[in-house]
């Protein structure tokens, strides 16, 4: 292989790799995780603005963690199963977080830091527990337990 061909091939390969890797660092990303079965767990993190993170867990062990840093981000966690558990943290402004848990031991925690944030937690059945912490101004939080 000639040196010129090697350089061209390397440049194209590098451009493809960087092009494929950069969307995870860009704004406006959407991540969707579905888990069904036993001993489920999920984690995620997004940085920037306009990102969406959705976690749907049905099964037995359940557990979920989400982190978003930036503005206008959305996180939704739905758990239908037994042990449940969820945590979501958002830093920035105008972020939205929602957690819905049905059945099992339940427990949820939401932390938001910034202005114009909103969070909602819905829990139905068994253990229930909820904790919401918001820092800043113009924030709204709703907790519904049955």
- Angle, CA 142 vertex, CA 107 and CA 115 arms, to 5°: 110
Tokens of 35: 């888990």
**Residues above pLDDT 70, as percent of the chain:** 82
Q: What is the pLDDT, as a whole number, of residue 8?
A: 43
Sign of CA pseudo-dihedral 6, 11, 15, 21? positive
pLDDT above 70: residue 15:
no
Q: What is the 3-state secondary structure (H, E, C) of the chain?
A: CCHHHHHHHHHHHHHHHHHHHHHHHCCCCEEEEEEEECCCCEEEEEEEECCEEEEEEEECCCCEEEEEEEECCEEEEEEECCCCCEEEEEECCCCEEEEEEECCCCCEEEEEECCCCEEEEEEECCCCCEEEEEECCCCEEEEEEC
Which pLDDT score is estimated for 17?
40
pLDDT at residue 107, rounded to an integer: 94
32, pLDDT greater than 50: yes
What local confidence, expressed as pLDDT, does residue 43 receive?
A: 86
Whether the pTM exceeds 0.85: the reply is no
**Any idea which residue has 């969707």 for tokens?**
32
Cβ atoms of residues 84 and 107 within 8 Å? yes
- pLDDT per position as a tens digit, 40-94: 888 888 999 999 999 999 878 999 999 999 999 999 999 998 899 999 999 999 9
pLDDT at site 138: 92
Copy the structure tokens of residue 143. Answer: 């907790």
Per residue in 118-144, pLDDT (tens digit) is 999 999 998 999 999 999 999 999 999
């Amino acid at each position: 292989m000639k040196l010129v061909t090697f350089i061209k091939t390397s440049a194209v390969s590098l451009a493809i790799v960087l092009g494929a890797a950069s969307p995870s660092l860009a704004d406006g990303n959407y991540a969707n995780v579905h888990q069904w079965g036993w001993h489920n767990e999920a984690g995620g993190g997004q940085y920037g603005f306009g990102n969406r993170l959705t976690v749907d867990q049905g099964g037995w062990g359940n557990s979920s963690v989400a982190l978003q840093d930036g503005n206008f981000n959305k996180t939704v966690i739905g758990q239908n199963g037994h042990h449940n558990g969820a945590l979501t943290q958002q830093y920035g402004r105008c972020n939205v977080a929602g957690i819905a848990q049905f059945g099992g031991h339940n427990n949820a925690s939401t932390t938001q830091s910034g202005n114009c944030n909103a969070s909602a937690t819905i829990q139905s059945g068994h253990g229930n527990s909820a904790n919401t912490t918001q820092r800043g101004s113009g924030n709204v939080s709703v907790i519904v337990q049955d």
